[in-house]
Amino acid sequence: MPRYFDDDLPRVNADKIKPMVKMWGGESKMRKDECIACISAGLADPQKVESAIGRLEPWERNALSLIKRMGGIIQNSTLGVGLLASGLHPRRTYGFRDDFIDPLFRRGLILATGGYGPDSISENYGSGGLLYADERILAQVGFPKYLPLEIQPSQAKGEIHFRRPSAVAVDLMGMLQAIENMGGLKLTQNGTVRVSDEAKLRKALHWSEKGMDVDGFLFPNPVQAWLSAFSYSDMLKKTMDGQLVLKEPPEQFARRSFSEQIRLLLEGFLRMNTWWEIPDKSNYFDSDGKGRSQGRMALTIALTALPLDPDAVYSINDFEQALYNRIGEDFALDYPPRRPYFSRTGISAKEQEELLAWQQSTRADWLKQEFPWLVGAFTTWLYFLGLVEFLVDHGKLAGFRLTEVGRTTFHPELTIFSAPEIQLPTSNHPAWVVQPNFDIIAYLDRVSAPQLAFLERHAERIEAHKHTAHYRLTRESVYRGLENGTSLNELISALQTGSQTELSQNILVELHEWASLRERIFLRRNAKMIEFPTPLALKAALTQGLTHQSQVKHSVN
């Protein structure tokens, strides 16, 4: 939802609003009402907004870009960690990242939300740490800039693991179709999905309780992960009767470009605050999800800051060290490290030893806590979405590099001028083969996203491999497709178009028979069901004048 400063400006104290007016050509000696009028007029004028943004420092524009990336609102501490990860930030005054936020506020670039007023940016109470920027400013903010990460390519050897865009699309279409098939997911009074519906969804997608296996890597608690990602990607909505349903049909989502699909879901993972990348989190205390939001943002920024060499593979250990060098002394998943405080400019030898001991302890804590979480982020959503590919040595993640999808996602500014939009592969060859036993073998290097959405709706997926996906036409799956508005002729036509050949005679006969069975079903909307404890009670009621028309129980075998 777009946010604007207009309603909040009158609630900003006069001593704090006067510095803000300078950005819009005003003077600090102006009265508060004059300051408000000047700022409001500036925000309403696109040319003045453009001029104001052009006068910002690179790190200030980066801050606005990060806020825009998070949907226009961001935690105070998350913005601070994001600026540190970018490598572009103002000179620090004794180690406090909150010093980055004050200049943004004095410039009138941000305000705060919550009950403590728009000029209170403390994160100590309630939601006061939530910052937002005016939508009219964010609309003209360009792409952020980052200092290249200090890291060298690795010479390590190993087996390459990667996911094709089509394999990603198969899983995404499958998840969306499963939610639609269930008619949505029922919510508890606390707003969480009911355990029974989670179990149904997990069963429909063939996921175990331990998690989802993605090319040998464990993706823990995928139901919670993907429902959160879909929700924060604005792909799910809550209905008035307490259900979580799709905002658009799977086939409509499939018509989006693949790059748009991945960017939507990436934003969902960045914003979620309940799911964990690792199954064992007993040593963590990030109850509100702030640490994970900060970590995910810092991680994606660091990936963006990698040198632009599509062939370079980077050691996971070198990458975590480079990331630690930027944020490690300011970030933790639980409580941020507290640097020792020394009152003088120069510190004594004893104080230097204390600082060194603190740095060693902080580094050890990072390796014990943050590094396993970082690896978990790589092997779950980053790998699942096809953003990275791995170099695996003896079963361990040794290195990685960004895929074409990853480079396009993390560097949208490059695609505008040079790189073409990533689409799923297309081919003049058949997208699938429909076998006489009702099995469908889809070729992932040929099938389009809309075709995958069609298969997910009208057939049962048996399994998916790196190059193919195995589906099967069943009476239930065909019935489901027909119930969702597909006609029999449309079903047959789509199957034949994808296979580029006529369907076998036995399949055509069965499809017509299944469709005719559906047409024999009568739906009575005003029927009443009366239950009797015994057959004798039913017989007595019929004897007394009860007719069969007043009770309806209809089933199809």
pLDDT category, 419, cuts 50, 70, 90?
very low
The verdict on 100 and 241 lying in the same domain is no
Tell me the C-alpha distance between 86 and 323, whole Å: 10
Using the predicted structure, report yes or no on whether residue 282 has a pLDDT greater than 90. Answer: no
User: Is 200 a residue whose pLDDT tops 70?
Assistant: yes
- Considering the domain architecture, whether residues 374 and 446 belong to the same structural domain is answered as no
Same domain? 85 vs 188: no
Report whether 528 contacts 552 (CB < 8 A).
yes
Residue 422: inside a domain, yes or no?
no
Q: How far apart are CA 495 and CA 442, in angstroms?
A: 11
**Within a domain: residue 421?**
no
Distance, in Å, from the CA atom of 528 to the CA atom of 172, rounded to the nearest integer, reads 40
Average pLDDT over residues 461-484: 88
How many domains does the chain fold into? 4
Mean pLDDT of the chain: 86
Residue 185 dihedral angles phi and psi, to the nearest 5° = -125, 130
- Res 126 pLDDT > 50: no
Q: Which stretch of 149-163, 207-221, 281-295, 492-506 has the lowest confidence by average pLDDT? A: 281-295
Give the separation between CA 101 and CA 351, rounded to whole angstroms: 29
Residue 149 lies in a domain: no
- Specify whether 512 is located in the same domain as 541: no
Taking the alpha carbons of 176, 267, 270, 416 in that order, is the dihedral positive or negative?
positive
Length of the chain equals 557
Q: 93-107, 239-253, 459-473: which range is least confident on average? A: 93-107
Give the integer Cα–Cα distance in Å for 400 and 316.
Answer: 7
- Helices within 380-426 (DSSP H only): 383-384, 404-410, 412-417
Does an H or E element contain 517, and which? Answer: helix 505-519
Whether 60 is in a domain gets the answer yes
Are residues 267 and 398 part of one domain? yes
Interatomic CA distance for residues 202 and 211, integer angstroms: 9
pLDDT at residue number 420? 43
Q: Is the pLDDT of residue 97 over 70?
A: no
54 burial level (CB within 10 Å; 0-12, 13-18, 19+): exposed
> Is the pLDDT score of 182 beyond 60?
yes
Residue 462 lies in a domain: yes
| For residue 89, pLDDT beyond 70 | yes
Q: Which of 138, 172, 198 is the last residue of a domain?
A: 138
* 49 and 182 inside one domain: no
- Concatenating the DSSP letter of every residue in 117-184 gives -TT---SSSTTTTEEE--HHHHTT------PPP---------EEE---HHHHHHHHHHHHHHHHHTTS
364 lies in the same domain as 402: yes
Residue 325 belongs to a domain? yes
Count the neighbouring beta carbons within 10 Å of the beta carbon of residue 92: 12
Question: Do 110 and 228 have their domain in common?
Answer: no
Residue 331: Cβ within 10 Å count: 25
SS3 396: strand
Question: Model pTM?
Answer: 0.82
SS3 state of residue 25: coil
Answer yes or no: do 447 and 379 share one domain.
no
Local confidence band at 128 (pLDDT 50, 70, 90 cut-offs): very low
At 470 the pLDDT is 92
Residue 283: what pLDDT? 56
Q: What average pLDDT does this structure show over 388-403?
A: 92
Count CB atoms within 10 A of the CB of residue 131: 26
Least confident segment among 404-408, 418-422, 455-459, 511-515? 418-422
Q: What is the DSSP string of 47-80?
A: HHHHHHHHTS-HHHHHHHHHHHHTTTEEEHHHHH
- Regarding predicted confidence, which is higher, 122 or 101? 101
pLDDT-based confidence at 41, cuts 50/70/90? very high
**Tokens describing residue 10:** 């009158």
Q: What is the DSSP letter of 513?
A: H
pLDDT score of 383 more than 60: yes
Distances (CA, A) of 420 to 389, 407, 446: 20, 12, 19
The helix (H) or strand (E) run that includes residue 261 is helix 258-271
- For residue 385, the model assigns a pLDDT of 96
| Residue range 483-511: mean pLDDT, rounded | 91
Eight-class DSSP state of 382: I
Q: Do 362 and 334 fall into the same domain?
A: yes
Residue 111 in any domain: the answer is: yes
Closest C-alpha among 503, 481, 504, 476 to residue 492: 503
- What pLDDT is stored for residue 554 in this prediction? 37
Q: Is the pLDDT of residue 384 over 50?
A: yes
Are 63 and 106 within 8 A, CB to CB? no
Q: In the predicted model, is pLDDT for residue 101 greater than 50? A: yes
Helix (H) or strand (E) holding 462: strand 460-464
pLDDT for residue 151 is more than 60: yes
pLDDT at residue number 520:
63
- The amino acid that residue 45 corresponds to is D
Taking only the tens place, the pLDDT of each residue in 522-551 is 555 566 777 888 888 888 888 877 655 444
**What percentage of the chain reaches a pLDDT higher than 70?**
88
Nearest CA to 307 among 85, 88, 83, 147?
Answer: 147
- Of all helices (H) and strands (E), which one includes residue 398? strand 396-402
Q: Is residue 426 part of a domain?
A: no
Distance CA 406, CA 387 (A): 4
pLDDT score of 152 more than 90: yes
First-last CA distance in the chain: 49
Domain identity same for 17 and 71? yes
Same domain, 370 and 243: yes
How do residues 329-367 score in pLDDT, each as one tens digit?
A: 999 998 888 888 776 667 788 888 998 999 999 999 999
Q: Which amino acid is residue 554, in one-letter code?
A: H
- What pLDDT band is residue 415 in, cutting at 50, 70 and 90? low
Look at residue 265 and tell me whether its pLDDT is greater than 90: yes
The least confident of 456-460, 517-521, 525-529 is: 525-529
- Rounded distance, CA 64 to CA 186, Å? 37
Structural domain span for residue 493 = 432-519
The mean per-residue pLDDT over the stretch 306-314 comes to 90
Q: Worst-scoring range by mean pLDDT, 35-39, 176-180, 508-512, 518-522?
A: 518-522
Comparing 425 with 138, the larger pLDDT belongs to 138
Amino acid at site 281: K
Residue 541: predicted pLDDT: 81
Of 104, 138, 172, the position where a domain reaches its end is 138
Q: What is the DSSP letter of 92?
A: P
